Amino acid sequence: SVDMDVLEFDPSKINWGRSKAPYRFLVDTFVAIEKTTSRLKIIELLTNALRTIIYHDPESVLPTVWLSSNAIAPSYEGIELGIGSQILSKAITSVSGVSSKTLKQYYDKYGDWGDVAYTAKVSVRTLMEPKPLTIGKVFNTLCSISKLKGAGVVDQKTDLVKKLLISCKGEEIKYLTRTLVQNLRIGAVKTTCLIALAHAFCLTRPTNMIISEPLDDKNRLFVEVNKESRDSLNVKLKAAEKLLKECYAQFPNYNGIVKCLLEHSIEKLLDFCHLRVGVPLRPMLGEIIRDLGQVFENHEGRLFNCEYKYDGQRAQIHMDANEKVTIFSRNLENMTERFPDVIELIPQICLNNVDSFIMDCEIVAIDSEGTIQNFQTLTNRSRKNVKLSSITIPICIFAFDLMYLNGESLLRKSLRERRELLRTEFTEIKNRFTYVNHIESSDPEEIHLFFKESIEFGCEGIMIKVLDDSPRSLENKTRMNLLASYEPDKRIKSWLKVKKDYIDGIGDSLDVVPIAAWYGNGRKAGWWSPILLAIYNPDTETFEGVCKCMSGFSDEFYKELKSRYSQENGNISQHKKWYFDVDDSLRPDAWFEPSEVWEIKGAYITISPVYKAAIGKVDRNKGLSIRAPRFIRVRKDKNIVDATTCEKLVELFYKQVKERKVEGINEESG
């Protein structure tokens, strides 16, 4: 909600003269962000920084957004800075005169390239004051670095990095270096940036913009700060936030979004930045259910599309009007080059009328007889520059949704309509392209049989999807409005997933993030063990400690983990960051920079005084923990924000209590 600081903040008071937004200004914001542990405060700091830049130097808004989100382009464009320790250490040595040996000592001490560069350069006296760096200059140089290719690239990159480092003053060097190694460490992740951007454009407009709403002489929307204006402003901010998130879910590209915000308004966003071929949308996701009976509790008589849940790789296939095909992963990475067999196939499946489309499907490995293989088999295919002639593991595409067809977004259409188009506009090819095996049913018995069949067939389970929007009558009765539309980036009850694991009651599989570790003892000396795992709280954007895990790992894995999380990689730290919600009594030897998702299974969920996962949600002062956790695998296809949420954990806890008829077992400690 809006507080006085935001309302009172007046961007016009900041004076940069006639110059462009200085990099120093952004760095001061980063410093302030790093010092706070409150997410609201972080949003406010970023909002006010953006407002100042919108007001004085609109051209620097986009560079600011990219630099704050620790990227220079959308992930699907695959643009990399490609700066490793070799280039950095060469550049720092050269501008500071500090030997590479000393640099290494600094690194062992700090474990962070930013601190290393800062310490190395702080003692250097320069004869001439460098010209102040601007945000635009930093961003443009990074873009130039990313474009360098071919012979001599290391020297060219080192040169550009050196130039930037020479122009840095004070703390600028620390954050610039962190940006160069893509580890900004301010914890302003995706949602924070989106919210700040929405708030900033709600509260301040570029001075040269013609606006219909009356602003006061300081370019603010509201003159009087009273309760009423604050309430209505809150409503406005929330609406802007929602719109920006909706827009980002189907068009995750700040280049387009910021351009539209500067030239038009938030309200116009979706007119310009919407689903489009070539830009991956964030996929719709399924809610877990453990008990098929649960499906019908609120939905008696409702028809569902029940589909096999194949165990392969999710793929979003785009084809534009020139028949150019692009394939994106669940994480929106461009994986086109991995599937030349898919590219070859696409023109053959399109019937005459198809001119462009976006399709959601699962790519599954099959054998020569067409029998589906497990996920592991698919991962055995090579990942880079795959040649059609060298493919030894064939695949089949199981299509389950169509989001766009011939220039038109289908997101608002019902699954029934989308499914119809998928089946009439495309043609099946045996063992290569097919619509997912499915039944349409409202009968629990029938669905149960279908589920069993899916497991026998080699699938993970089934997806149960709402086919049509709720009729009014049902909506009133159940107070639940289930949408049959395609909802990007949402995990809602319109898509339910039933997996064998859940039904078997082996224990729930959870997706957790490794966030810290202790030094191992005995046989495990020299490795990380145990490892502290966390679930994700999307409301606070924090990782809440849930258990220590020390089983299910191979020695190979331990070794790899030790080199993956290391001083050299700059992704461990001695200090607990604001985005870790972990009790002070747990004192790990190192904190990991959250970066991967692990699937684990546990015996059961307990109430815990030590772990803060879902704290206050089951017991006022206690959190939840997982007993006997066992590592299953790394989920490369998931982002850290896709980890199990606290809400989900609570739900699983109550379900377990109900099923086992046990009071949530109280445990003493981790």
Q: Which residues are catalytic?
A: 309
Could you please report the per-residue DSSP string of 257-277? HHHHHHHS-GGGHHHHS--BT
Q: Are 244 and 252 in contact (CB under 8 A)?
A: no
CB of 22 to ligand ATP, least distance (A): 42
State the residues that interact with ligand ATP by CB under 6 A. Answer: 285-286, 307, 309-310, 314, 330, 362, 400, 436, 463, 497
At 550, is the secondary structure helix, strand, or coil?
coil
140 φ, ψ to 5°?
Answer: -65, -40
Neighbour-count burial of 238, counting CB atoms closer than 10 A to its CB (0-12 exposed, 13-18 middle, 19+ buried): middle
Instruction: Return the number of other C-beta atoms located less than 10 Å from residue 220's C-beta.
Output: 19
What number of CA atoms fall less than 13 Å from residue 513's CA on the CB side? 29
Give 60 or 336: the residue with its C-beta nearer to ligand ATP.
Answer: 336
The three state secondary structure string of 321-380 is CCCCEEEECCCCCECHHHCHHHHHHHHHHECCCCCCEEEEEEEEEECCCCCECCHHHHHC
CB of 307 to ligand ATP, least distance (A): 4
Give 504 or 555: the residue with its C-beta nearer to ligand ATP.
Answer: 504
CB of 510 to ligand ATP, least distance (A): 10
211 φ, ψ to 5°?
Answer: -125, 145
Strand 313-319 relative to strand 438-441, pairing: unpaired
Give CA–CA dist 89/158, Å, rounded: 9
Q: Are 220 and 204 in contact (CB under 8 A)?
A: yes
Residue 410: in which H helix or E strand, if any?
none
CB of 398 to ligand ATP, least distance (A): 6
> What are the structure tokens assigned to 522, written together?
């005995």
CB of 581 to ligand ATP, least distance (A): 22
406 φ, ψ to 5°?
Answer: 45, 50
CB of 285 to ligand ATP, least distance (A): 3
Who contacts 633 (Cβ-Cβ below 8 Å, separation ≥6)? 598, 599
> What are the structure tokens assigned to 571, written together?
């992704």
Sign of the dihedral through C-alpha 643, 648, 654, 659: negative
Angle between helix axes 172-180 and 135-147 (nearest 10 degrees) is 30
Give CA–CA dist 247/267, Å, rounded: 11
CB of 266 to ligand ATP, least distance (A): 29
Residue 617 DSSP label: T
Give 331 or 567: the residue with its C-beta nearer to ligand ATP.
Answer: 331
Give 43 or 436: the residue with its C-beta nearer to ligand ATP.
Answer: 436
At 564, is the secondary structure helix, strand, or coil?
helix
At 490, is the secondary structure helix, strand, or coil?
coil
Q: Are 268 and 243 in contact (CB under 8 A)?
A: no
CB of 533 to ligand ATP, least distance (A): 16
Give 137 or 497: the residue with its C-beta nearer to ligand ATP.
Answer: 497
Give 400 or 558: the residue with its C-beta nearer to ligand ATP.
Answer: 400
Give 225 or 449: the residue with its C-beta nearer to ligand ATP.
Answer: 449
At 642, is the secondary structure helix, strand, or coil?
helix
Instruction: Quote the strand ranges of 469-527, DSSP E.
Output: 491-499, 509-519
CB of 551 to ligand ATP, least distance (A): 21
Sign of the dihedral through C-alpha 352, 356, 361, 362: positive
Give 319 or 359: the residue with its C-beta nearer to ligand ATP.
Answer: 359
CB of 483 to ligand ATP, least distance (A): 15
At 554, is the secondary structure helix, strand, or coil?
coil
Counting every residue written for the chain, the total comes to 670
Q: Indicate the residue whose CB is closest to ligand ATP.
A: 314
Give CA–CA dist 393/374, Å, rounded: 12
Nearest to 192 by CA among 298, 65, 281: 65
Give 14 or 421: the residue with its C-beta nearer to ligand ATP.
Answer: 421
Give 319 or 415: the residue with its C-beta nearer to ligand ATP.
Answer: 415
Give 199 or 309: the residue with its C-beta nearer to ligand ATP.
Answer: 309
Give 269 or 463: the residue with its C-beta nearer to ligand ATP.
Answer: 463
Residue 514 DSSP label: E
CB of 486 to ligand ATP, least distance (A): 11
> What are the structure tokens assigned to 333, written together?
């990475």
CB of 288 to ligand ATP, least distance (A): 7
504 φ, ψ to 5°?
Answer: -60, -25
Q: Are 302 and 466 in contact (CB under 8 A)?
A: yes
